[in-house]
């Protein structure tokens, strides 16, 4: 028998680490969505789909702008020393993925703006008529639009990857210690964004394309999760124990039923049938994907804090 007693009982630390609660998984989810939407929008621009009037590449950046701001608000709410938040922007700490993230998120805004400017809302045009001119001018330059697309894809990818790198750099939480975590968050974000854009797409081509892409992303996501688990199971005993938390332990039911089942396998099955025209497209599948993505992040953040070195 192995008995450990401690006199420590620090709030948020003991008996189980829970310093990061709902604000972080919600931000991770919203950030992932934005990453995916930026990549999708950027991709359409890169491929010249801005010529299509109903292309989602025109309104996606606005949605991204709002969702990202909400996400950053939650990040801000998580801070315990809010009045010093500006300290993030008086330095760049090269070893800190959170510092990278702070700067990446700032850079995202002008880059979203570059996408937003391709179609400006009527209310703004009324106030600043010159903007419509400017917008039209850019749309004519294929080179400009293409590059706006490229940087949106790039920054979107960076937003989608850095959070995974951030968590995986925190070696004290064995569950997060996986070289594929950045991939998991990226592909999960892409999957959620594809599901979302599929729901709101204004033309049939995009609707179909995004459903197919989502299926692709879901398959990759399943593979990445499997790789992550295998990596943990073949590592140290602390890492094995971390993986067991999801497979067999306190998080097993949420993981298998909601993350894998509802979040990936079932919508994948439904969407495969839909793209092969066996059934009509239904909003149920993409909604499952989106909710599953949120739950995935809650599970990773919570179970990660439960995992520890022995």
Partner 1 sequence: MNQLSRRRFLKISGATIAASTAVTSLGSVVKGAKKIEEKTGTSIKGVQKIPTYCSMCFWKCSAIGYVKDGKLWKIEGNPEDPLSNGRLCPRGTGGVGAHYDPDRLKYPLIRKGKRGEEKWVHVTWDEAFEFIAKKMNKIKKNYGAESLGFFSHGIGGGFIKHLLKAYGTRNIAAPSFDQCLGPRDTAFEITYGDVIGGPERTDIENAKCIVLLGSHIGENMHNTQVQEFSKAVENGASIIVVDPRLSTAATKAKYYLPIKPGTDLALLLTWMNVLISENLYDKEYIDKYAFGFEQLKAEVSQYTPEWAYPITGIQPNVIRETAREMARYKPSTLVHPGRHSVWYGDDTQRGRALAIMSALLGNWGRKGGLINQDVFDIPSYPYPKYPETTREKADNPNHKYPFGGAEGYTTGLREATLTEKPYPIKGWFVYGTNLLYSLPNMQETIDAIQKLDLLVVIDVVPSEIAGYADVVLPESVYLERYDELFAPYFKQPFVSLRQPVIDAPNDQKPGWWIAKQLGHKLGLDKYFPWKNAEEYLDTRLKKAGLSLEIMKKKGVVKGPKIPLYFEEGMDAEFDTPTGKIELYSMHLAKEGYDPIPKFTKHAEPPAGSFRLLFGRAPMHSFSRTQTNRLLTNVMDENEVWINADIAKNYGLKSGDYIKLKNQDGVISNKIKVKATERIRTDCVYIVHGFGHNSRMLKGAYHKGASDSQLITKYKIDPLMGGTGMNINFVTFETEV
Partner 2 sequence: MARYGMVIDTKKCVGCTDCVIACETENNVPEGFARDWIEQIAVGKFPDTTVEIRSERCNHCSDAPCVTCCPTGASHHSDLGGIVLVTPNECIGCKACIESCPYGARFVNPEGYVEKCTFCIHRVKEGKDPACVSVCPTHCMHFGDLDDPNSEVSKLLQKRRNHSLIPEAGTNPNIFYLT
Do residues 294 and 24 touch, judged by C-beta distance below 8 A? no
> What is the pattern of x (binds partner 2, CB under 8 A) and - over residues 9-38?
xxxxxx--x-xx------------------
Measured between alpha carbons, how far is 152 from 217 in angstroms, rounded to an integer?
19
Angle, CA 247 vertex, CA 246 and CA 253 arms, to 5°:
75
The footprint of partner 2 on this chain (CB under 8 A) covers a number of residues equal to 49
User: Residue 83 carries which DSSP code?
Assistant: G
Do residues 170 and 63 touch, judged by C-beta distance below 8 A? no
Q: What are the residues whose beta carbons fall under 8 Å from the beta carbon of 101, sequence distance 6 or more?
A: 162, 163, 166
Question: Is residue 3 a contact point for partner 1 (CB under 8 A)?
Answer: yes
Question: Is residue 94 a contact point for partner 1 (CB under 8 A)?
Answer: no
User: Residue 87 carries which DSSP code?
Assistant: G
Part of the chain binding partner 1 (CB under 8 A), chosen from 2-10, 37-45, 66-74, 230-238: 2-10
Question: Is residue 80 a contact point for partner 1 (CB under 8 A)?
Answer: no
What token pair was written down for 271? 């969407």
Q: Which is nearer to partner 1, 15 or 129 (CB)?
A: 15
Nearest to 285 by CA among 219, 214, 185, 234: 214
What token pair was written down for 143? 């080179």
Q: Which residues 7-36 are close enough to bind partner 1 by CB under 8 A?
A: 7
Q: What are the residues whose beta carbons fall under 8 Å from the beta carbon of 47, sequence distance 6 or more?
A: 149
Q: Which does 84 bind (CB under 5 to 8 A by kind): partner 2, partner 1, none?
A: partner 2
Q: What is the smallest separation between the CB atom of 286 and partner 1, expressed in angstroms?
A: 44
Q: What is the smallest separation between the CB atom of 249 and partner 1, expressed in angstroms?
A: 18
Tokens 């450990």 found at: 4
> What is the pattern of x (binds partner 2, CB under 8 A) and - over residues 156-175?
----------x--xxxxx--
Question: Is residue 277 a contact point for partner 2 (CB under 8 A)?
Answer: no
Q: Which does 17 bind (CB under 5 to 8 A by kind): partner 1, partner 2, none?
A: partner 2
Measured between alpha carbons, how far is 71 from 86 in angstroms, rounded to an integer?
17
Nearest to 106 by CA among 54, 66, 51, 68: 68
Q: Which one of 3, 53, 140, 204 is in contact with partner 2 (CB under 8 A)?
A: 3
Do residues 60 and 40 touch, judged by C-beta distance below 8 A? yes
Q: Which does 277 bind (CB under 5 to 8 A by kind): partner 2, partner 1, none?
A: none
Q: Which does 19 bind (CB under 5 to 8 A by kind): partner 1, partner 2, none?
A: partner 2
Do residues 174 and 238 touch, judged by C-beta distance below 8 A? yes
Q: Which residues 87-106 are close enough to bind partner 2 by CB under 8 A?
A: 87-88, 90-91, 93, 95-99, 101-102
Question: Is residue 7 a contact point for partner 2 (CB under 8 A)?
Answer: yes
Give me the residues that bind partner 2 (CB under 8 A), please.
Answer: 1-14, 17, 19-20, 78-85, 87-88, 90-91, 93, 95-99, 101-102, 166, 169-173, 236, 238, 305, 308-310
List of residues contacting partner 1 (CB under 8 A): 1, 3, 5, 7
């Amino acid at each position: 028998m192995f008995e450990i007693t401690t006199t420590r009982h620090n709030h948020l630390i003991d008996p189980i680490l829970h310093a990061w609660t709902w604000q972080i998984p919600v931000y991770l989810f919203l950030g992932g969505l934005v990453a995916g939407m930026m990549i999708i929008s950027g991709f359409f621009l890169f491929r010249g789909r801005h010529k299509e009037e109903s292309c989602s590449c025109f309104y996606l950046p606005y949605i991204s702008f709002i969702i990202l701001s909400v996400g950053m608000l939650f990040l801000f709410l998580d801070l315990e020393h809010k009045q010093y938040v500006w300290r993030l922007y008086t330095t760049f700490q090269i070893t800190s993925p959170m510092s990278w993230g702070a700067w990446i998120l700032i850079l995202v805004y002008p880059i979203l703006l570059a996408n937003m400017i391709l179609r400006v809302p009527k209310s703004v045009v009324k106030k600043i008529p010159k903007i419509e001119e400017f917008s039209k001018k850019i749309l004519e330059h294929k080179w400009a639009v293409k590059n706006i697309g490229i940087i949106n894809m790039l920054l979107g990818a960076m937003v989608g990857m850095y959070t995974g790198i951030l968590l995986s750099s925190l070696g004290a939480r064995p569950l997060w210690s996986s070289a594929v975590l950045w991939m998991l968050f990226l592909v999960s974000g892409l999957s959620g964004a594809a599901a979302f854009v599929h729901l709101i797409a204004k033309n049939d081509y995009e609707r179909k394309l995004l459903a197919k892409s989502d299926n692709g992303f879901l398959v990759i996501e399943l593979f990445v999760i499997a790789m992550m688990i295998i990596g943990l199971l073949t590592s140290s005993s602390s890492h094995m124990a971390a993986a067991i938390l999801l497979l067999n332990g306190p998080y097993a039911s949420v993981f298998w039923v909601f993350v894998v089942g509802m979040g990936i396998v079932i919508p994948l099955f439904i969407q495969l049938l839909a793209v092969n025209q066996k059934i009509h497209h239904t909003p149920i599948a993409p909604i499952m994907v989106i909710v599953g993505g949120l739950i995935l992040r809650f599970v990773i953040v919570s179970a990660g804090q439960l995992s520890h070195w022995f």
